[in-house]
């Protein structure tokens, strides 16, 4: 299984802003489209990481979605993770392995979003 945060048009979106979570099988066929629990959560990005852990699903994190708490949750539970671009079609993703800079950028973005509220 694969989990990806997406917008209304099934384009990848940052976990804290995505309206839905797409649940895909290993052939990238949609199994389920559910509301993003991050929208109703205080801890936005980590709530999506916890969903991936609950489902034991590979997490495709759009750029800006893998903050330090999310990365810790994913690593601790040995969940596979890849980073995609934002606003990419889920059938045509440019995936890369997460690195320090991705986690740092995502963490700074999360702090910025938190301070704006």
Task: Please give the pLDDT value at position 114.
Answer: 86
CA 77 from chain center: how many Å? 15
Residue 98: exposed, middle, or buried by beta-carbon count in 10 A (0-12, 13-18, 19+)?
buried
Gap between the Cα atoms of 81 and 87, Å rounded = 18
Delineate the domains of the chain, giving CATH numbers in brackets: 2-116 (3.30.420.130)
| pLDDT score recorded for residue 24 | 95
Low-confidence ranges of the chain (pLDDT < 70): none
State how far the Cα of 51 lies from the Cα of 38, in Å rounded to an integer: 10
Give SS3 for 6.
strand
Looking at residue 91, its pLDDT comes to: 86
Other C-beta atoms closer than 10 Å to the C-beta of 101 total: 8
108: left (phi over 0), alpha (psi -120 to 50) or beta: alpha
pLDDT at 103: 97
Residue 42 is predicted with a pLDDT of 86
| pLDDT recorded at residue 76 | 97
The pLDDT value given to residue 90: 85
């Amino acid at each position: 299984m694969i989990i990806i945060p997406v917008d209304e048009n099934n384009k990848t979106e940052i976990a804290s802003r995505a309206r839905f979570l797409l649940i895909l099988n290993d052939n990238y066929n949609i199994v389920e489209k559910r509301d993003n629990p991050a929208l109703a959560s205080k801890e936005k990005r980590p709530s999506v990481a916890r969903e991936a852990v609950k489902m034991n699903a590979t997490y495709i994190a759009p750029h800006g979605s893998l903050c330090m708490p999310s990365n810790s949750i994913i690593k601790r539970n040995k969940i596979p993770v890849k980073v995609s671009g934002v606003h990419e079609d889920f059938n045509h993703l440019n995936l890369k392995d997460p690195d320090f800079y991705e986690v740092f950028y995502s963490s700074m973005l999360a702090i910025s979003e938190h301070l704006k509220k």
